[in-house]
């Protein structure tokens, strides 16, 4: 079956490059993927796949009917682009000023379509049903949630996901056991003191000084009260308050992002932060309000599915083209929303060039080695096929 899947992927390769270049030239921002969705729906329909549009607002799902095994497998790929102005000389560079596929979601969409084309060509040899999820709005960490709310995870037994990675060469893939990405939450703190003359601190409660204590104490407390093997990154990216250089500030707003890898740490973070902030503020007589908003959880790859993916990839490409990633990323990925409903695994698809510099994701000069499309399609099609074996 592997040879058949590889032959099919090679046969579709020129068409897949065309598809990728079309999507790359016509990027759309998060939640506005109307043309991309219509295009995806058209390609899926042409493979005899049952298509539903308008799922998760601007998402699309495709249902491929296979054999009698009742375990439904899902494949998620995302479709949105970024508000970045592309700097490239590619003939298929973005035709939309200020919008660019700088995170490789054009590749993901193409890999999803290619996997659909290959698996639908297997006809009666496909043991079970596959649901293809083409998700909008990953960059704003909303799309997966919209899709889940529309029921895309109903009856799903396992889900696969993929993201390109420029530091892994094209033709190779990276597999990660356990945590792949971090949980990302939003934090907002208001500190209220009492205004007064800059020369008479004893008659006021200085919200700026207390805010400084809060920032410092939070950073120190991570180092002194948290398990160092369960990392937390707390970044206060905004701070505002005060009226004049010689007036003691009565109110300060702090806002930041909180990243963590371990589910238990993640669960305890809101209370832990609130206790520290309240403690510092009470000590100096200020009032505080802590707003902790949960974002996306950490992507935790399922052991058995990751083993399956590793075995399928090694059989397809040889051990030397399959890297086991030793470290997770503190970045976030809303693929984790699906993992609240079924086990799954997400891998990194190498798109790095071997003979020229590679720019990072979200860079205006980001570019990919397109041979990765076939690598991604074969890896996913074969892993999904083997799931039922």
Q: Give dist(CA 357, CA 352) in Å, integer.
A: 8
Q: Show the CA angle centred on residue 113, arms to residues 109 and 117, nearest 5°.
A: 170
Q: Give the interface size with Ni ion as a residue count (CB under 5 A).
A: 1
How is 310-353 classified by DSSP, letter by letter?
HHHHHHHH-GGGEEEP-S--SS--TTHHHHTTS-EEEEEEEEE-
Nearer to Ni ion, 103 or 133 (CB): 103
- The answer to whether the CB of 12 falls within 8 A of the CB of 113 is no
How is 272-290 classified by DSSP, letter by letter?
HHHHHHHHHHHHTT-EEEE
Nearer to Ni ion, 82 or 258 (CB): 82
Report in angstroms how near the CB of residue 138 gets to Ni ion at its nearest.
6
Report in angstroms how near the CB of residue 127 gets to Ni ion at its nearest.
31
Nearer to Ni ion, 60 or 269 (CB): 60
Between residue 72 and residue 131, which ones bind Ni ion under the rule CB under 5 A? 103
Report in angstroms how near the CB of residue 194 gets to Ni ion at its nearest.
46
Tally of CB atoms within 10 A around 133? 26
Q: Examine the residue annotation and report whether 69 is marked as an active-site residue of this protein.
A: no
Annotated catalytic residue, options 80, 310, 334, 369: 80
Q: Give dist(CA 294, CA 43) in Å, integer.
A: 36
Tally of CB atoms within 10 A around 207? 28
Report in angstroms how near the CB of residue 18 gets to Ni ion at its nearest.
22
SS (H, E, C) 283-313: HCCCEEEEEEEEEECCCEECHHHHHHHHHHH
Between residue 343 and residue 362, which ones bind Ni ion under the rule CB under 5 A? none
Report in angstroms how near the CB of residue 33 gets to Ni ion at its nearest.
14
Tally of CB atoms within 10 A around 196? 17
59, β-bridge pairs: 55
| Element spanning 192, H or E | strand 183-192
Tell me the residue nearest to Ni ion as measured from the CB: 103
Report in angstroms how near the CB of residue 345 gets to Ni ion at its nearest.
17
Nearer to Ni ion, 127 or 328 (CB): 328
300, β-bridge pairs: 179
Nearer to Ni ion, 139 or 185 (CB): 139
Nearer to Ni ion, 366 or 387 (CB): 366
- The answer to whether the CB of 41 falls within 8 A of the CB of 53 is yes
Binding status of residue 164 toward Ni ion by CB under 5 A: no
- What would you report as the CA-atom Rg of the chain, rounded to the nearest whole angstrom? 24
Annotated catalytic residue, options 28, 78, 86, 138: 138
Q: Examine the residue annotation and report whether 33 is marked as an active-site residue of this protein.
A: no
- Residues engaged in binding Ni ion (CB under 5 A): 103
Provide the annotated active-site residues: 80, 138
């Amino acid at each position: 079956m592997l040879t058949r899947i590889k032959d099919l992927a090679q046969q579709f390769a020129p068409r897949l490059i065309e598809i990728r270049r079309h999507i790359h030239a016509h990027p759309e921002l998060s939640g506005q993927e109307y043309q991309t969705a219509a295009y995806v729906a058209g390609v899926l329909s042409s493979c005899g796949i049952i298509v539903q549009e308008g799922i998760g607002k601007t998402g699309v799902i495709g249902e491929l009917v296979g054999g009698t095994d009742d375990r439904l497998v899902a494949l998620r790929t995302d479709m949105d682009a970024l508000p970045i102005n592309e700097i490239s000389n590619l003939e298929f560079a973005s035709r939309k000023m200020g919008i660019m596929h700088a995170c490789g979601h054009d590749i993901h969409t193409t890999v999803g379509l290619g996997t659909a084309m290959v698996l639908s060509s297997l006809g009666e040899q496909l043991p079970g049903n596959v649901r293809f999820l083409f998700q909008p709005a990953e960059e704003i960490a909303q799309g997966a949630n919209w899709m889940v709310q529309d029921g895309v995870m109903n009856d799903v037994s396992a889900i696969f996901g993929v993201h390109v990675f420029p530091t892994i060469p094209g033709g190779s893939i990276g597999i990660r056991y356990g945590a792949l990405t971090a949980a990302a939450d939003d934090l907002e703190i208001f500190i209220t003191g009492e205004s007064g003359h800059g020369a008479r601190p004893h008659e006021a409660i200085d919200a700026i000084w207390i805010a400084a204590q809060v920032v410092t104490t939070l950073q120190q407390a991570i180092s002194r009260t948290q398990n160092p093997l369960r990392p937390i990154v707390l970044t206060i990216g905004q701070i505002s308050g005060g009226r004049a250089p010689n007036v003691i500030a009565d109110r300060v707003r702090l806002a930041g992002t909180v990243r963590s890898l371990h589910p238990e740490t993640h669960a305890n973070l809101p209370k832990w932060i609130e206790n520290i902030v309240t403690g510092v503020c009470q000590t100096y007589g200020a009032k505080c309000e802590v707003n902790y908003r949960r974002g996306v959880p950490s992507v935790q790859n399922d052991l058995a599915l990751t083993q399956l993916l590793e075995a399928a990839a090694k059989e397809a490409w040889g051990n030397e083209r399959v890297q086991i990633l030793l470290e997770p990323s503190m970045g976030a990925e809303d693929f984790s929303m699906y993992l609240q409903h079924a086990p799954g695994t997400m891998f990194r698809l190498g798109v790095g060039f071997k003979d020229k510099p590679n720019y990072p994701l979200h860079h205006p000069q980001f570019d990919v080695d397109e041979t990765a499309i076939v690598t991604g399609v074969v890896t996913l099609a074969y892993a999904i096929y083997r799931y039922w074996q």
